[in-house]
Amino acid sequence: MNKKEVAHIRKQFKLDHDLLNIYDILNVYITKETNEVYHWERHPFELVDREKQELYMGNFKNC
């Protein structure tokens, strides 16, 4: 993928976009020393409040 294609995909990361479907958000906490998962949480994306949804979308764009 070139930069133009990546930029086009990033523009589609909007909450009200028709083609974007996010069902669950998974938060995983890992120990630094052993890289083992010590806690994880799974939340339905539609039940997360609007501010957090926007925060996640901003983080997705920056990846």
For the chain, give percent helix, strand, coil, nearest 5: 40, 25, 35
pLDDT score for 44: 95
Output the pLDDT for position 38.
93
Task: State pLDDT tens for residues 7-16.
Answer: 888 888 888 8
pLDDT (0 to 100) of residue 20: 81
Q: What φ, ψ does residue 47 adopt, rounded to 5°? A: -90, -10
Provide the pLDDT for residue 39.
96
How many CA atoms lie less than 13 Å away from 59 in the CB half-sphere? 7
Higher pLDDT, 13 or 29: 29
pLDDT of residue 1: 76
Q: Residue range 39-48: average pLDDT?
A: 94
